[in-house]
Structure 1
Amino acid sequence: MQCGVSELDTLISSVLGFLTEYSWVYAFKWVDLLSYAGNPAADPVLCCPAEWKIALCSAEVRDLQSVVLGNPSPATWPASLKFFARQCMSLSRRLMESSSCIPISANQPTASIGHVVAVPSAGYLAYATLQLPQHDVDAEDSSPLQDFRIQNPLLPSQLQYFVEATEMEAFQLPGLIGIDGPGLHSIQNCRQGHGLVKIDAAGGEEVHAPLHVLLCHRVEGAVVQVEQVVDCSRRHALEPAMLMDAYRDEHPGSSGRSAEPNVGGLVDLGSGLGHLPNYVMRMLSVVNPQIPRPRLVAVEADPIIHSRAKELEDKKVSPNDRILRECIRVTTDNLENLRDRFRAHLSGLSVPYYLLCGLHCCGDLSVAAINLFISDPNAHSLALIGCCYHKMTAQMFPLSAMLREALTQRCGFSALTSTVALRLACQWSPQQWCRWSHLEVHQHRIRVFVRSVIQVFFGPHSAAPSPKLREIVRINPLNWLTDDLQSANLLSVNQPLPNLTAYWRALQKIDEHCDFEALQCLARTQAAVELWRLLPGILALQQLMQPLLEALILSDRVWALRESGTPYVTLLRLFDPLLSPRCMALVAER
């Protein structure tokens, strides 16, 4: 699935060219939409082609949501709009393919419920707990697996995304933990059967099961023996010796992997209250109590949360097995200090290497984690889920030399690295937006419209800025509507402006200097009406663009790790994007 250098250069050029041409779709602030009116460089209403406006303003909400999910565009849409939708999907998929590396392992005598699942039509890999048929699977058979069910569903039922189980290919990771029931719950009993370790679960807290399983698998040392970049259609069943020969060919000087556990600890960055390491510790103690307890280190920057985590610690656990906690901020400026601390925690272990992980590491923390992994030879593996890309400082994106050079050739292309573009990359997932009801879409439309009017009238760049702007924006316009939205027919995007008279008068009571008549006139100008008509369409265009922007950010991190010489790097879908929109993990191993 990984691209060659020239092919990757071509892909990056195509992506940046597309993002440059359609930067008007994402390079704006929603609150400033009406402020941009008439500006040919910033107004999305003005930049949107006339034929697109006709199609988007006359569409039904379900049509917009259907296209975002990857279904064919309505026949009445112009060819250029259909191309835009297809290209968003295609480029997103190609980026994910270029950043996905299928793990290869020798056939195991026993099955495993933990699997890396390849989804060719969507271009990504996912990690799932699967119930596979109890018969041998011929690795040379390229036909899809027909008879398995997902115990812990990770994959949405829609595509980009649209995938039926029969389209998937499963790549077995030996030694993984099997889980009965949806998700991981409080563990009550553990048993062995048919070569599988199974955990009986009773009702209790639900957590992100795949991440816990993945981490436990890695900490135990039951790792994929060899990872190679392969094409799904050209997989072969290899004996272990052949695999090791292939690995040495790919990595000269390597002696291959030992059968012994290769990580002695786990370091969790941004650990918060420590739920993740706590659960990993509990799982390991139940699943395989014979193995030595790994060293688990929880790192948290907030001293209050750090103290609370220590209070919640299970006092019944032996002091030697307790989680080690560090209260320190992780930045790219203190990596040497962090390396020394982790080395001290792992001293005395027969295996001084650790798995570095982070669940939803915010902003610069994700970049610091990647740099820590690159710079610390004791960091054997990485499992990282980032979030809040818009909180990254300017120098943190792009991270790879490849993308930096490509952007430099385009004079920096500031729109891509702007806060608004990075914010779009980490907003709700397309799957979540497509679950919105017609009423929710309309309510969001009203709030955005009202907020843009307020920004023009009361904002800091208005003719008369209001000192009470914070109070004004807290007033919910939906509470002042005289229209009955519950009984309204909201199937179509073509809806009249709501009656907001009562709401505008309510704002006048907060700021006595507010000119009610002028405010109401502003909301009825031609620019405001055009914005109102196009708002759902603009939102749909952004939902098409969101996966592409996020795929580029995540791929940039993969490329940076590959540039550092890390042998195995991939993106791996861990969570259901309906529940956790930041569902992709960056997985790496030395």
Structure 2
Amino acid sequence: MVPIDANDLRGLLAFVHTYANLYETLNVEFFSARVFERIDAEWLSFLCRLDSAQLNMVPVEFEQYPDCPASLKHFFASARRFSLLDKYSTPFVDRQHTNKYSSPEQLRKVKRKKAHELGAFSELLRAECAPLGIDRVVDIGCGLGHLGRVLRLNNNESLQQQQTSNDNNSSLRLDYVGIEANPSLCHSARQNDLKMENIVFGSGIGHDDGSSSSSEQCRNILTLPGCRTAIVSLHGCGELQRQILLEFVAMCKQQTAEHPKLLVTVGCCYHKLSDWTDSAIERWMLSSQMRDLFLHTFGHNHFPIPGLRLACQATLVRWMAFTEQQHTAHRQAFANRAFVECLRIHKTAATKAKSANDVPHRHSSNIANCEKVDDNDHNGGGDLLQMHQRRPPRKLNKCMLANNNLDEFRTEVMRRSAIVEEERDEFEQTLDQIMDTYSPAVHFIEPFTALQFALQCPLESLVLLDRLLFLRENGIGGAELVRLFDPAISPRCVAIVARVNE
């Protein structure tokens, strides 16, 4: 296992702290918070001169540009230096000297990305389970149980391969149990004869919240006597990976014969915390060493949640492959949402002003209740300008992705916003003013995105190295990061693997 150099952690945190202006604000606030004014003007001037193909490659080919500002070259070089996942992870394919993953072609309605993930994950799981004598897998946040179906296929195939293959894993058979909080997903999985438990994992685990029933139920499943169990989770969303790590460490410390012997987990959506407004690092950061270094570097214990969102966006590899059409679509979708956010702020302020002056309008929409709008509603049933509990609305991404017609954009925004007829002219004028004011800044969107893509890997390095350190700090020396998926296909491509020494 590669020890983590404390100097790398200090440098990573210093770099992330220095360039916080590039991720501390939601992208939807690019205009309303005037984020473009926080970016070095010399950087923007240079980046705006590049065509799309050059913009794709400048994060890695910056040294080829004599007119690239020295400070921008330093940023790109530092971003490359502190993209630490390659340094502190092991490539699974190279380690196994094979490019052959289990192929789940027999799984119906599975897209290419999911098929790639299931094949690689199941192959890693089998490679890890065989030496440890694992015979049972508990899949937390299992969704429809696709992994269970792949493992069942592998079990059937192993019977045929056992006599003809020298593979040590060919005789491996793994029982499967899925844990899923969504009852409808559980029902669908059970129709495929998979063993499923409808439990909200994490309730009461690692916390004194009184949810002892769910916690005890999870513990009973994870510590079944007479079995050697592996805990797995493929792209467990939000806080799930953190909760799994806490539970795994707690069970290992009990040193019972039944505690799980292996953990294999790939996380995603690090920013989807239960409380979007609480930015304290204790919400997601686990390692004592990382917390201490963070406090020393930042001088406080708050980390912008949008930084966690950037940590789990697409990787630089994806950006380098962007086509001209993708740039156009991204720029317009980004701008559409930012325009709407400005209008939402205006509407919220107007509503508050009316309330303060005791001039209620019986037909006006109620912004104060902050009810979440259904993102699947494209028929005007909700209020596009209503504040979401978690984040501003994403609706324009789905139905206006490549719409460059401003008249159509204005009409669609008005149609899908709860604005009474007598206020319509005022809001149309306001939207026109917003677009007139910020349209020149649309030119800065793709350069800004290039800078964010350069930051993505350092930010994800911060998240995953913290989790790796946490395991090692708690006596699980057999913990490592494994590069598992092709990042061009599946951006969250690094697995945390923890083996319990006996």
TM-score by length of 1: 0.65
Q: Distance in 2 between matches of 1:277 and 1:530?
A: 52
Q: Is the 8 A contact 1:558 1:570 kept in 2?
A: yes
State whether residues 358 and 383 of structure 1, in contact with CA within 8 Å, keep that contact through their aligned partners in structure 2. Answer: yes
Contact 1:381 1:587 in 2 (8 A): yes
Matched, 1:210 2:91: no
Shift, 1:460, TM fit: 6.3
Deviation at 1:71, TM superposition (A): 6.5
Conserved 8 A contact 1:357-1:384: yes
| 1:440 and 2:326 are equivalent in the alignment | yes
Is 2:470 aligned against 1:588?
Answer: no
Question: In the alignment, which residue of structure 2 is the partner of 1:504?
Answer: 410
Of structures 1 and 2, the larger Rg is shown by 1
Which of 149, 164, 180 is residue 300 of structure 1 equivalent to?
A: 180
Runs of 5+ consecutive residues of structure 1 not aligned to the other structure = 38-42, 101-124, 129-169, 188-203, 224-260, 314-322, 483-499
User: What residue is the counterpart of 1:265 in the other structure?
Assistant: 136
Question: Residues 462 and 325 (structure 1 numbering): CA distance in 2 closer, same or farther, change over 3 Å?
Answer: closer
Structure 1 residue 67 corresponds to structure 2 residue 78? no
Listed one character per residue, the Cα deviations across residues 137-177 of structure 1 (whole Å, up to 9, x for unaligned) are xxxxxxxxxxxxxxxxxxxxxxxxxxxxxxxxx4448xx9x
Answer yes or no: is the 8 Å Cα contact 2:262–2:498 preserved in 1.
yes
2:231 is the alignment partner of 1:356: yes
Shift of 1:557: 0.5
- Is residue 291 of structure 2 the alignment partner of residue 404 of structure 1? yes
Inter-partner Cα distance in structure 1 for 2:219 and 2:338 = 48
1:520 maps to which residue? 432
* Aligned ranges 1:418-457 → 2 under 5 Å: 418-457=304-343
Partner in structure 2 of residue 84 of structure 1: 75
Rounded Cα–Cα distance in structure 2 between residues aligned with 1:185 and 1:508: 46
1:28 aligns with 2:19: no
Whether the aligned pair in 2 keeps the contact of 1:299 and 1:326 (CA below 8 Å) is: yes
User: Where does 1:230-269 land on structure 2 (aligned, <5 Å)?
Assistant: 262-269=133-140
SS in 1 for 2:326: helix
Q: CA deviation at 1:69?
A: 5.1
**Residue pair 2:294, 2:301 contacting (<8 A) in 1 also:** yes
Partner of 1:390 in structure 2? 271
- Alpha-carbon distance, 1:575 to partner: 0.9
Q: 1:231-250: CA deviations, max 9, x gaps?
A: xxxxxxxxxxxxxxxxxxxx
Structure showing greater relative contact order (alpha-carbon pairs closer than 8 Å, 6 or more residues apart): 2
Q: Distance in 2 between matches of 1:325 and 1:477?
A: 39
Match of 1:276 in 2: 147
1:337, 1:70 → 2: CA distance? Answer: 53
SS in 2 for 1:82: helix
- The whole-number CA distance in structure 2 between the counterparts of 1:356 and 1:537 is 42
Give, in whole Å, the separation in 2 of the partners of 1:434 and 1:76. 21
| In 2: Cα distance, 1:126 partner to 1:518 partner | 53
The offset of 1:366, in angstroms, is 0.6
What is the CA–CA distance in structure 1 between the aligned matches of 2:237 and 2:483, rounded to whole Å?
Answer: 18
Contact 2:92–2:483, Cα closer than 8 Å, also in 1: yes
* Equivalent residue runs for 1:510-589 within 5 Å: 511=419, 512=421, 513-514=423-424, 515=426, 516-525=428-437, 528-589=438-499
1:83 and 1:296 map into 2 onto residues whose CA distance is 49
Deviation readout 1:397-425 (Å, 9 max, x if unpaired):
211111111222233352xx322111111
Cα distance in structure 1, aligned partners of 2:440 and 2:263? 48
* 3-state SS, counterpart of residue 293 of structure 2: helix
Q: 2:204 maps to which residue?
A: 333
Q: Amino acid of the residue matched to residue 410 of structure 2?
A: W
State the one-letter code of the partner of 1:583: C
CA drift of 1:583 comes to 0.8
Tell me the equivalent position of 2:247: 372
Q: Which residue of structure 2 lines up, in the alignment, with residue 158 of structure 1?
A: none
Q: SS state of the match for residue 177, structure 2? A: strand
Is residue 70–residue 89 contact of structure 1 (8 Å, CA) maintained in 2?
A: no
Instruction: Write the distance in 2 (CA, Å) between the matches of 1:509 and 1:564.
Output: 56
C-alpha offsets along residues 177-226 of structure 1, whole Å, 9 cap, x if unaligned? x848x944349xxxxxxxxxxxxxxxx9766322111212333x2x3xxx
* SS of equivalent residue, structure 1 residue 523: helix
Distance in 2 (CA, whole Å) between partners of 1:522 and 1:392 is 32
TM-superposition CA deviations, 1:343-370 (whole Å, max 9, x none): 3xx33x3xx3211111001111111111
The gaps in structure 2 that reach 5 residues or longer are 108-113, 163-170, 206-214, 253-258, 275-279, 352-363, 366-381, 387-392
Distance 1:33 1:355, change over 3 A: same
| 2:117 maps to 1:126 | no
Partners of 2:430 and 2:49 lie apart in 1 by 30
What residue in structure 2 maps to residue 14 of structure 1?
Answer: 11
RMSD: 2.9
Question: d(CA) in 1 for partners of 2:239 and 2:290?
Answer: 18
Q: What is the letter of the counterpart of residue 411 of structure 1?
A: G
Quick check: 436-445 or 537-546, which moved more?
Answer: 436-445
Distance 1:309 1:18, change over 3 A: same
- Aligned partners of 2:309, 2:9: CA distance in 1, in Å? 21
Flag the 1:546–1:479 CA change in 2: closer, same or farther, 3 A: closer
Cα–Cα, structure 1 residues 303 and 504, in superposed 2: closer, same or farther, change >3 Å?
A: closer
Alignment of 1:125-274 (within 5 A): 125-128=90-93, 170-172=94-96, 179=100, 183-186=103-106, 208-219=118-129, 221=130, 223=131, 262-274=133-145
CA distance in 2 between partners of 1:555 and 1:304 (Å): 35
Which is strand-richer, 1 or 2? 1
Give 1:479 shift: 7.0
How much does 1:505 deviate?
Answer: 4.7
Query: 1:392, CA displacement in angstroms?
Result: 3.0
Using a 3 Å threshold, how does the CA distance of structure 1 residues 562 and 300 change in structure 2: closer, same or farther? same
| 8 Å contact from structure 2 (residues 139, 231) kept in 1 | yes
Partners of 1:55 and 1:78 within 8 A in 2 = yes
Give TM-score, length-normalised by structure 2.
0.76
Letter in 1 for 2:37: L
Q: Secondary structure at the match of 1:34?
A: coil
CA distance in 2, matches of 1:336, 1:457: 48
Q: Is the 8 A contact 1:96 1:555 kept in 2?
A: no
Letter of the structure 2 residue corresponding to residue 79 of structure 1: A
What SS class does the counterpart of residue 138 from structure 2 fall into? Answer: strand
Structure 1 residues 432 and 518 mapped into 2: Cα distance closer, same or farther (>3 Å)?
same
CA gap 1:297/1:523 in 2 versus in 1, 3 angstroms: same
Task: Provide the C-alpha distance between the structure 1 equivalents of 2:217 and 2:188, rounded to a whole number of angstroms.
Answer: 24
Q: 3-state DSSP class of the match of 1:470?
A: coil
Contact 1:96/1:551, CA 8 A, preserved across alignment: no
Tell me, yes or no, if the aligned pair for 1:382 and 1:589 is still in contact at 8 Å: yes
In 1, the alpha carbon distance for the partners of 2:456 and 2:30 equals: 18
